[in-house]
C-alpha cells in the first residue's frame, strides 16, 4: 500500500462523496499506486455513517471507523494511524477546505525527498478574522516554545507522515495540533512545510470554537513537560524546589541575622522580624520549595514504577 488518507470527521454528511471522488481523481491521475481512504466518524449525529457505509460498498479501498460518541479529532486521528497501512499517511479534514490535489506533492516529499513529516501551510486562508488572528498568535507561541521555527501553520489539517512516524506516536487530547512537536521530540527531525490551497467551506459550519486555543495552549505545555521531563520529573520540580527553598531560607536567615546584629550593638531595630512582609514571603518560598521538591520526589517514584520507563524510539538495528 502506497498511500493511506486518514479523514477524521464529525457531521460532514454532505461532503464525503465529493471528497472521496476528489481524492481518487488526484491519486489515480498521477498513477501513485494502491491507496486507501480511512473515514473515521467521530460520533456524528447526522447521516455521515450511512454515507460512509454507502461509499465502502462501492469502493473496497474506502474503509470506515465509527466511534460510539464524540471523542475529538485527536482520538479519530490516532485510530486512523493505528489502522493505516500505507507507506505514506496523509491527513485532511472532511469539510472540503483541504485540497486533495496537494496529495501527489506531499507524497513525493515523504517518499522521495526523505521527509518524516510535511505540514501544510494555509498561506491564504478563507476564514473569518476571529480565527485567523488568534491562529497567527498561537502559531507564533508554538514556534517559540517548540523551537520548530520553519513552520508557519501547526494547526493545518493537511499533513503527510511516514508510516514509521505514525506507528511510533500516540495522539490524544487536543494534541493533533502539535504533531510536528511530537514528531520532533520522538526523533523525527526531518520536518518540512508546503504551501497548500485553502478553500471556503461549502457545507455545514465549523466544529471548533475559541476554546480550542486555550485547550491547545494547555496541551502544548503538557507536551513540552512530558517529552522533556516525563522520565525525569525530579530534574524540573526538584530544581525549582531547591532554588525556592534556598532563596526563602536565605532571606529569612538574613532578616534574623540583622535582628541579632542590632541586639549585639544594643540598638533598637526599626522593625521586628515578624513585622516585615519580606519575612512572610520568605516563609512562603521555603514552604513552596519543600512542596515542589516532594512533588518531584513522588513523581520520580511514579515514573520509576511505570511500565514505559525504559521505552525508547529505536530507528534501526543490525547484527541481532
DSSP string spanning 190-249? -EEEEE--BPPP-SS--S--THHHHHHHHHHHHHHHHHHHTT-HHHHHHHHHHHHHHHHH
Tell me 175's DSSP state.
G
Interatomic CA distance for residues 241 and 102, integer angstroms? 50
- H/E element holding 18? helix 16-29
Interatomic CA distance for residues 52 and 161, integer angstroms? 24
Q: Which tens digit of pLDDT belongs to each residue from 48-103? A: 999 999 999 999 999 999 999 998 898 999 999 999 999 999 999 998 989 999 99
Interatomic CA distance for residues 302 and 173, integer angstroms? 22
- What residues pair up with 7 in beta bridges, in sequence order? 39
Looking at residue 232, its pLDDT comes to: 74
For β-strands 88-91 and 159-162, DSSP reports them as antiparallel
pLDDT-based confidence at 116, cuts 50/70/90? very high
Q: Please answer whether residues 262 and 210 qualify as being in contact, where contact means their C-beta atoms are separated by less than 8 angstroms.
A: no
For β-strands 62-66 and 88-91, DSSP reports them as unpaired
Q: Which residue has the cell 514509521?
A: 164
pLDDT above 70 as % of the chain: 82
pLDDT-based confidence at 209, cuts 50/70/90? low
Q: Which tens digit of pLDDT belongs to each residue from 285-302? A: 999 999 998 888 887 777
Single pTM value for the model: 0.72
Amino acid at each position: 500500500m502506497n498511500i493511506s488518507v486518514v479523514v477524521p470527521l464529525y457531521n460532514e454528511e454532505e461532503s464525503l462523496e465529493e471528497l472521496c471522488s476528489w481524492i481518487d481523481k488526484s491519486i489515480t491521475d498521477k498513477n501513485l499506486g494502491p491507496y486507501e481512504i480511512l473515514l473515521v466518524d467521530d460520533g456524528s449525529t447526522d447521516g455521515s455513517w450511512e454515507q460512509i457505509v454507502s461509499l465502502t460498498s462501492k469502493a473496497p479501498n474506502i474503509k470506515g471507523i465509527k466511534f460510539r460518541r464524540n471523542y475529538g479529532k485527536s482520538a479519530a486521528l490516532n485510530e486512523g494511524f493505528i489502522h493505516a497501512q500505507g507507506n505514506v499517511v496523509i491527513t485532511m479534514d472532511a469539510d472540503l477546505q483541504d485540497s486533495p490535489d496537494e496529495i501527489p506533492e506531499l507524497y513525493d516529499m515523504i517518499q522521495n525527498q526523505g521527509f518524516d513529516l510535511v505540514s501544510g501551510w494555509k498561506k491564504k486562508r478563507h476564514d473569518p478574522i476571529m480565527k485567523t488572528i488568534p491562529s497567527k498568535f498561537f502559531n507564533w507561541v508554538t514556534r517559540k516554545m517548540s523551537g520548530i521555527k520553519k513552520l508557519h501553520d501547526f494547526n493545518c489539517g493537511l499533513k503527510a507522515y511516514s508510516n514509521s512516524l505514525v506507528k511510533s506516536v500516540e495522539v490524544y487530547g487536543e494534541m493533533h495540533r502539535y504533531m510536528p512537536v511530537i514528531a520532533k521530540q520522538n526523533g523525527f527531525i526531518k520536518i518540512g512545510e508546503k504551501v497548500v490551497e485553502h478553500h471556503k467551506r461549502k457545507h455545514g459550519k465549523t466544529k471548533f470554537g475559541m476554546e480550542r486555543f486555550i485547550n491547545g495552549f494547555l496541551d502544548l505545555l503538557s507536551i513540552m513537560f512530558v517529552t522533556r521531563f516525563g522520565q525525569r520529573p525530579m530534574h524540573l520540580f526538584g530544581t525549582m524546589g531547591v532554588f525556592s527553598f534556598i532563596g526563602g531560607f536565605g532571606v529569612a536567615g538574613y532578616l534574623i541575622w540583622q535582628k541579632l546584629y542590632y541586639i549585639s550593638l544594643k540598638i533598637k531595630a526599626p522593625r521586628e522580624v515578624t513585622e516585615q512582609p519580606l519575612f512572610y514571603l520568605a516563609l512562603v518560598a521555603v514552604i513552596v520549595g519543600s512542596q515542589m521538591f516532594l512533588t518531584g520526589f513522588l513523581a520520580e517514584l511514579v515514573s520509576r514504577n511505570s511500565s514505559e520507563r525504559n521505552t525508547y524510539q529505536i530507528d534501526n538495528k543490525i547484527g541481532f
